[in-house]
Amino acid sequence: MSLNPPLRDWQGKTAWLIGASTGIGAATASALHAAGARVIVSARQAELLDKFVAAHPGSRALPLDVLDLPALHAAASELGPVDLCVYCAGYYRAMGAANFDLAEARRHLEINFNGVLHLLDAVLPQLLTAGTGHLSFISSVAGYRGLPKALAYGPSKAALSHLAEALYLDLHPRGIGVSVIHPGFVKTPMTAQNDFHMPAEISPEQAARAMLAGWAAGDFEIHFPKRFTRFMKALRQLPYRLYFPLVSKTNR
């Protein structure tokens, strides 16, 4: 059963991707452009956005910082209602209790969660008036349960996933789609800093294809690659007395 209105025909549709200068965001913007969507890409790195536009005729660059609320409001007002708005911006630094850094922890929350609140403040009035559109947020399987080295990243993504669920309950009756993306390991500049083996790692292009397939199916949760994310989902069902020893072993 589709939980959202399926998004299949992108001809004539407008997609705005925030955090689309590299990684999953850039790959998804490229896939949407190839499918016929009018694509607007936003991020702080204007030069990378310009390169994207040069390679994708008809697309548009709209540089901004997700922490700049007035800039988000100005962009949303200029663009008007869009068919799909994807929050791709993210921040990750490995962190444990022994190297806890308050400023870094706050930065995770600012970019991974508060940036989404800024976006909602800018676009929700338009969406509610239009009674159509789709909001999609890139979270992470790291938000499923507590994980080693994810003392800052995991909680910020868990909060984002929870927010998406609450939004769905509010917006679905109004005809507005909401989806949350839970990627496993994707080869991006963000994951390049990891010093451990990343099982079932996929490319940003593979991630983009999975996202478009999920939107076409009307899914609320889009997770990939399934061979990894299904295992992570299974871990959510374990009681703590089993979960903690198992995950501790994988971190040795």
How far is residue 6 from each of residues 10, 132, 241, measured CA to CA in Å? Answer: 11, 12, 40
41, 82 Cβ separation under 8 angstroms: no
102, 108 Cβ separation under 8 angstroms: no
82, 133 Cβ separation under 8 angstroms: yes
| Residues labelled as active-site residues | 153
**Secondary structure (3-state) at 84:** strand
**Cβ atoms within 10 A of the Cβ of 4, count?**
20
61, with CB counted inside 10 A (0-12, 13-18, 19+), is: buried
* Distance from C-alpha of 228 to C-alpha of 223, rounded to nearest angstrom: 9
26, 41 Cβ separation under 8 angstroms: yes
- Give residues with Cβ within 8 angstroms of 43, minimum separation 6: 18, 19, 20, 21, 25, 49, 63, 64, 89
